[in-house]
Amino acid sequence: MKIHDREGTINPTRIRIVLAEKRLGDRIEFVSVDIISAEQKSATFLAKNPIGKIPLLELDDGTIISESTAITEYLDNLDGNPTLTGKTPREKALIHMWQRRAEQLLLEPVDDYFHYGTKGLGEALQPFRMPDWAGRKEWGERRGAFAVGNLPYLDTELAGRAFLAGDAFSMADITLFVALAFAELAGLSIPPDLANLATWRGRVANLPAVKNRSGQNLRPEDLARLAA
């Protein structure tokens, strides 16, 4: 199997945690995609994934699977013992619900803030974003404020339980963990008084799958253009 990604960036980090949790690293060949030069928007890459985003899982028979949640589902179920996406209908529903909430309430608005409220990853990707307009930066900043404004809700929901979707580490926790790291590197401040969120974050950071994954959480050099 091949994973097309960029080590240390946002969504690829989610998959690398999955690989570590499922102990699949020795079965994967990593293919680096130069997202700074917008290689993911090239004709060659678009032939594999018309959405033009990473990560991308390419199976040995040529099957292409994109989207982090779909890749996670596949990898988690390879051994017949899904630990990240749920076993029972109830577990699956709760994990997918919280995973999507983590995306909608935090990861996606942080991504909008990064690409529209700041300089993002530079000029090469600008043609593939929304056209420039007078309120572009203001809209991006509103999205960043929306993300930060959702953190107290997540803090409240984490009261009394070990992980986001219940008692076990899951895909939902991976999404939230990476989203928080992205928010900080994008320049958004996480309120220090959110004790439940901080406790949960420390718990996840110390899990073997998170500590021992291939690659760093997010590479500062990939986000260095923020200060340019």
- Residue type for position 131: P
Give all domains of the chain, ordered by start, each with its CATH number.
Answer: 2-77 (3.40.30.10), 89-207 (1.20.1050.10)
3-state helix, strand, coil in the chain (%, to 5): 55, 5, 35
pLDDT at position 132: 64
pLDDT at position 35: 79
Tokens of 215: 């690659």
| 65 beta partners | 57
pLDDT at position 36: 77
pTM: 0.89
- For 4-21, the pLDDT digits (tens) are 998 878 899 999 999 999
- Point out the residues of the chain with pLDDT beneath 70: 120-134, 213-228
Cα 168 to chain centroid distance, Å, stands at 19
pLDDT at position 211: 85
pLDDT at position 134: 65
pLDDT at position 121: 65
pLDDT at position 137: 85
pLDDT at position 126: 62
DSSP-derived pairing of the beta strands 56-58 and 2-5: antiparallel
**CA 172/CA 224 separation, integer angstroms:** 28
**CA 11/CA 138 separation, integer angstroms:** 25
**CA 119/CA 86 separation, integer angstroms:** 38
pLDDT at position 125: 59
